[in-house]
Structure 1
Amino acid sequence: AICGFKIHDPDVPFEAVVVDRSTGEGLIRSTKKLDCELQKDYTFSIQAYDCGKGPDSSAVKKSH
């Protein structure tokens, strides 16, 4: 089961939350109002971790 997500860039205006622990479904949402004319793209790394052991860097997934 997925217990949480961590975004690895403190300057990105997003947070990641778990929607459903059993499926691992999550949601990325903005933490402030975004101006797409000033910045169209954001690049960051996100990591999912389970409830039992610590973060497992061997299972990396990328999304664009």
Structure 2
Amino acid sequence: MSRQIERRVFGSELIERQWRHDLGGTFEVDFNESGLRSRIDLPLNVLTEHSSNQKDSG
């Protein structure tokens, strides 16, 4: 049985906003009996750009 977060906290809102606006992705959180479950979706180009930047700086 899962339930929605009853009260949003600033940290969760900040993370969700950054994923959505800065990276073009989504961030979902669900609390259930076994613990916390989150789903993070990012466009592939964000991941490949980050990866190539890591290689260039190293």
| Structure with the largest fraction of strand | 1
The structure with more helix, counted as a fraction of residues: 2
TM-score category, normalised to shorter length: 0.3 to 0.5
Q: TM-score, normalised by structure 1?
A: 0.36
Higher alpha-carbon Rg: 2
The two structures have a TM-score, normalised by structure 2, of 0.38
